[in-house]
A and B are shown apart, each in its own frame.
Chain A
Amino acid sequence: MNAQKTDALSAYFLAETSDVQETHTLSIIVDNEPGVLARVIGLFSGRGYNIDSLSVSETEHEKHVSRITIVTTGTPQVIEQIRHQLDRLVPVHIVRDLTVAAKHTSQEKPLERELALIKVRGEGEKRLEALRLSDAFKATVIDATVEHFVFEITGRTNKIDQFIEILSPLGLVEVSRTGVAALARGGQALKDLHDEI
């Protein structure tokens, strides 16, 4: 991903900023029209913002509306910029910073889940060890032969990271991950969340 943006805010920004980097999860409701994802991604690459994770899918078919979930890292000021820049795009209906919204209701984080499919090949003790671990991580086997497994696992990003790391000496072949899906805790809909900083 791109380098941090702090020093590029202006050519005249000579002072070092001591602002800490934070990771935030943004939910964006957009019209599901051609090019909308390119607009969002182009905004991030064009302005030098980071994308740690991205997932997108149509969520309301009749209204032709999609939901994009982006996990991004930056200083609080950059993250506020990202939110406003996204909001400026014409096909964007709603942008909410779930991380800020969670803080407002005294929660640490929004609900976040990722799904991963993980292929492992091996024999003997290693194979048994992989199976035992999958059990511990509540992963399920969705494909298998005598020489391989494909595990399906859902969870927070760091849980999946951990599972993959543990499997890597046990014959890890490849991984496919979905990116983060996220919702705020509680009964409120996205548009009613309070996320002003």
Chain B
Amino acid sequence: MQREMTGAEMVLQALRDNGVEHVFGYPGGAVLPIYDELIQQDDIQHILVRHEQGAGHAAEGYARSTGKAGVALVTSGPGATNMVTALTDAMLDSIPMVCITGQVPTNLVGSDAFQECDTVGITRPCTKHNWLVKDVKDLPRVLHEAFYVATSGRPGPVVVDIPKDVQFATGTYEKAQTNPSAHKSYRPQLKGEMTAIRAAVELMSKAKRPVFYTGGGVVNSGPAASQLLRELVDLTGFPLTSTLMGLGAYPASGEQWLGMLGMHGTYEANMAMHDCDLMICIGARFDDRITGRLDKFSPNSTKIHVDIDPSSINKIVHVDLPIVGDVAHVLEDMVRIWRASSFRSQPELKGWQTQISKWRARDCLSYSENNDVIMPQYALQRLNAAIKGRKDVYISTEVGQHQMWAAQYLGFESPNHWLTSGGFGTMGYGLPAAIGAQVAHPDALCINVAGDASILMNIQEMSTAVQHGLAPKTFILNNSYMGMVRQWQQLLHGNRLSHSYTDSLPDFVKLAEAYGGKGIRVTKPAELDDAIQEMIEAPGPVLFDCRVAQLTNCFPMIPSGKAHNEMLLPDEATDEAVANAIDTAGKSLV
């Protein structure tokens, strides 16, 4: 198809041709021509946010919950710079996102024009790629390429910066070439090398203390990858742990599930990582939140690393057997070879399984219950009970203790249902992400587990939810503190709580009502179940103000600078142990 049209029309047509149904955006002078096209059509629905950062995180939530690219549309200058946090967030968590920014007309570029900024310069390090389109004849190609780059290989955010005169100019629109993989310089490797995969299966067949360590790459690789992972785990009988980003790829109810690993991971997961003789890392990247002290990281294991991004391999931890390729492709080969070799899950694993059951029996997520005050862990357990068995629940979070507790206490059964800011740790992510998920799944239950501090960072998006008839539920574990900051101050700074208490918090019930949503407040454990039901049944958005014990710490924890086998467990975490948990070397770490 070839047709003459304006640049602004091309944007809409390219979105359509790339299967886009929803765009999150905010207008301004430099994108008015595109907005003028938006209102004259019905195929693509525009969701008006209240802050461009919200559009970015909503697009991320949409992408994470669907596997498709999320699309955002913002104006030049402040519109674009407000987007930077969300772009970086998407970059670190490998979320496919296409962000279209308006730019001042080409003849004004470089003149410090009104609302001009160097958008491609500013977003270069926080995007997978970006383009400034100075000629309308390049626009269709760039737009198609943008979707291809964002969604293929290791996914990520891209920016297409379009000056206003290019939006008005007319040119010839063409559909994407049928074979995008004919890109001249960008060709991600999907198939893993067979010799390496065979060697990996060989190692697996001989392992005595194996563990799968899986990450967000499994989710990004698509539903087939999660399916194949489950198959491989069943075939081998190996235990499995996952990073924060990978939760749901293997079900929390699965027999081999060890729980999340890392700084706030479970005892059994971290001990298994430390003591294993074979580590099979699939789509994870040895982040510092995962490894703890590097020179004591899993000292006696042979390490296999499957990743689509060669730069992830040997970046932090030296691995013995790298396999570059897409997770689903590699897992498919592994499953096939394992089957063909008719390996059985071996009796030698018995000893390892017994050891793991001992670690499990340590019950590292236990906490002291309380009849008068709501323990945050208890609140999440009640929430989990209320949503158990439902397949249509999407959980997003903000950042802090509540995020870690959500990861620990909510069981995730399937991929793409857990939306959290892992790599960047962006407070303010959760509410817009829940909105994004709700747009993609209008009838689902979308819950944002929040902290009282984080929720205020993008609270304005309540207004977006109300306007668009979306009903995300925000479950605030309100401890009046920036809990995670307070915890670190207790660990590192003699419990001097410098500016981590939030005085003058708003009345969240009234705030919800002011936006046109519903507010619920709960202060007693006994009231929780009914109130959670009320929240779930509410037809519109809810702010659920759950007043929890104020000074609870999040455990277990690997203190900074410590190894996997040096965890601080809740029943050992006396005030003194907490105060001395981190030594001088650990103090400078983040």
B294 CB-CB contact with A under 8 Å: yes
Chain B residue numbers with a CB within 8 Å of A14 are 293-295, 561, 585
Nearest-Cβ distance from residue B188 to partner chain A, whole angstroms: 10
B284 CB to closest chain A CB (Å) equals 14
Taking CB atoms, residues of chain A closer than 8 Å to B310 are 84, 87-88
Interfacial chain B residues near A90, Cβ < 8 Å = 128-129, 149, 185-186
The answer to whether A38 and B124 touch (CB under 8 A), given A10-B291, A12-B291, A31-B184, is yes
- CB of A88 within 8 A of CB of B315, answer no
- List residues of chain A with CB within 8 A of the CB of B294: 10, 12-15
Residues of B within 8 A of A11 (CB): 288, 560, 588-590
A9 — nearest CB in chain B belongs to which residue? B316
Cα A165 to Cα B162 with chains together (Å):
51
A42 touches B124 (CB 8 A): yes
Smallest CB–CB gap between B423 and chain A, Å? 13
Q: How many residues of B contact A (CB 8 A)?
A: 31
From A15, A31, A38, A81, contact of B185 by CB (8 A): A31
With known contacts A31-B185, A81-B315, A84-B311, A12–B129 Cβ distance under 8 A: no
Q: Mark B124-167, 1 if CB is under 8 A from A, else 0.
A: 11001100100000000000000001000000000000000000
> Is B457 in the interface zone, CB < 8 Å from A?
no
Q: Which of A10, A38, A88 contacts B316 (CB 8 A)?
A: A10
Q: With a CB–CB cut-off of 8 A, which chain A residues contact B186?
A: 90-91
Question: Looking at the complex, which one of A13, A15, A31, A80 makes contact with B314 (CB distance below 8 Å)?
Answer: A80
**In the assembled complex, which residues on chain A have CB atoms less than 8 Å from the CB atom of B309?**
84, 88
Q: Are B185 and A85 in contact (CB under 8 A)?
A: no
**B292 within 8 Å of A (CB atoms):** yes
Among residues of B, the one whose C-beta sits closest to the C-beta of A39 is B124
Tell me, in angstroms, the Cα distance from A31 to B145 when the chains sit together.
15
Contact with B along A10-50 (1 / 0, CB 8 A): 11111100000000000000110011001100100010000
Closest chain A residue to B188, Cβ basis: A88
Chain B residue at minimum C-beta to C-beta distance from A63: B184
**Within 8 Å CB of A91, what residues of B?**
129, 185-186
Asked whether, in the complex, the Cβ of B291 is within 8 Å of the Cβ of A42, the reply is: no
B120 CB-CB contact with A under 8 Å: yes
Contact across chains for A38 and B121 when beta carbons are under 8 A apart: yes
A77 within 8 Å of B (CB atoms): yes
CA distance A47 to B569 in the complex (A): 35
A177 at the B interface (CB under 8 A): no
CB of B125, distance to nearest CB on chain A (Å): 5
> Which of B295, B311, B588 is the most central at the interface, judged by chain A CB atoms within 10 Å of its CB?
B311
A92→B310 CA distance, assembly (Å)? 14
Q: Report B117 CB to chain A, min CB distance, Å.
A: 15
Q: Which residues of B contact A92 (CB under 8 A)?
A: 185
Asked if residues A88 and B311 are in contact (CB atoms below 8 Å), the reply is: yes
Q: Would you call A93 an interface residue if the criterion is a C-beta within 8 Å of the partner chain's C-beta atoms? A: yes
From A10, A38, A92, name the one whose CB has the most chain B CB atoms within 10 angstroms.
Answer: A10
Contact B316 A34 (CB under 8 A): no
Interface of B is mostly: loop
* Contacts of A44-84 to chain B: CB distance below 8 A: 46, 77, 80-81, 84
Q: Which of B294, B585, B590 has the most CB of A within 10 A?
A: B294
User: Of A9, A12, A30, A31, which contacts B561 at CB under 8 A?
Assistant: A12
Expressed in whole angstroms, the Cα–Cα distance for A8 and B186 within the complex equals: 29
Q: Bound complex: CA of A84 vs CA of B318, how far in Å?
A: 15
Max count, chain A CB within 10 A of own CB: residue among B125, B318, B588, B590: B125
In the complex, are the beta carbons of B125 and A46 less than 8 A apart? yes
Known interface pairs A9-B316, A93-B184, A93-B185. Does A35 touch B124 (Cβ–Cβ under 8 Å)? yes
Which residues of chain A come closer than 8 Å to B185, judged between CB atoms? Answer: 30-31, 90-93
Q: Nearest chain A CB to B192's CB is how many angstroms away?
A: 16
Choose among A11, A30, A93 the residue with the greatest number of B CB atoms under 10 Å from its CB: A11
Query: In the assembled complex, how far is the CB of residue B376 from the closest CB belonging to chain A, in whole angstroms?
Result: 27
CB distance from A107 to the nearest CB of B (A): 25
- With CB as the reference atom, state the residue of chain A lying closest to B561: A14
CB distance from A64 to the nearest CB of B (A): 10
- Chain B residues near A15 (CB, 8 Å)? 294-295
Bound complex: CA A80 to CA B184 (Å): 23
Q: What is the 8 Å Cβ interface bit string for chain B, positions 37-74, against chain A (1 contact, 0 not)? A: 00000000000000000000000000000000000000
Please tell me if the beta carbons of A12 and B292 are within 8 angstroms of each other in the complex.
Answer: yes
- Centre residue among A38, A89, A90 by max chain B CB count within 10 A: A90
Question: Which B residues are CB-close (under 8 A) to A81?
Answer: 311, 314-315
**Cα–Cα distance between A77 and B315 once the two chains are bound (Å):** 8
Closest residue of B by beta carbon distance from A197? B314
* Known contacts A10-B291, A12-B294; A87/B311 CB under 8 A: yes
Q: Which residue of A lies closest to B316 (CB)?
A: A10
Does the CB pair A35–B120 fall under 8 Å? Answer: yes
Which chain B residue has the least Cβ–Cβ distance from A45? B125
B452-496 to A contact mask, C-beta < 8 Å, 1/0? 000000000000000000000000000000000000000000000
Query: Least Cβ distance of A81 to chain B in Å?
Result: 6
B590 x A34 contact (CB < 8 A): no
**Contact in complex: A85, B311 (CB < 8 Å):** yes
Most buried by B among A30, A81, A89: A81
Which residues in B have their C-beta under 8 angstroms from that of A30? 185
Q: Which residues of A contact B589 (CB under 8 A)?
A: 11-12
* Least CB distance, A65 to chain B, in whole angstroms: 9
Residues of A within 8 A of B184 (CB): 31, 93
CB distance from A164 to the nearest CB of B (A): 35
Residues of chain B lying within 8 A (CB to CB) of residue A35: 120-121, 124, 132
Interface 0/1 of B300-316, CB less than 8 Å to A: 00000000011101111
Chain A residues in 8 Å Cβ range of B588? 11
Could you say which residues of chain B place their CB within 8 Å of the CB of A39? 124
Nearest-neighbor residue (CB-CB) of B292 within chain A: A12
* CA gap between A85 and B314 in the complex, in Å: 12
Distance A39 CA – B318 CA, assembled complex (angstroms): 27
List the B residue with the shortest CB-CB distance to A88: B311
Give Cα A9–Cα B589 distance, bound, in whole angstroms: 12
Interface string of B572-590 (1 = CB under 8 A from A): 0000000000000100111
Q: Which residues of B contact A87 (CB under 8 A)?
A: 310-311
- For A12, list chain B residues within 8 Å (CB): 288, 291-294, 560-561, 589
Min C-beta distance of A42 to chain B, whole Å: 6
Q: List 24 A-B contacts (CB under 8 A).
A: A10-B316, A11-B588, A12-B291, A12-B293, A12-B560, A12-B561, A13-B294, A14-B293, A14-B294, A14-B585, A15-B295, A30-B185, A42-B124, A46-B125, A80-B314, A81-B311, A81-B314, A84-B310, A84-B311, A87-B310, A88-B311, A90-B128, A90-B186, A93-B185
Report B's interface with A, CB cutoff 8 A.
120-121, 124-125, 128-129, 132, 149, 184-186, 288, 291-295, 309-311, 313-316, 318, 560-561, 585, 588-590
What 4 A-B pairs have minimum CB-CB distances, sorted nearest first?
A84-B311, A15-B295, A90-B129, A93-B185
A10-B316, A14-B293 given; name 13 further pairs at CB < 8 Å. A9-B316, A10-B291, A38-B124, A39-B124, A81-B315, A84-B311, A88-B309, A88-B310, A90-B128, A90-B149, A92-B185, A93-B184, A93-B185
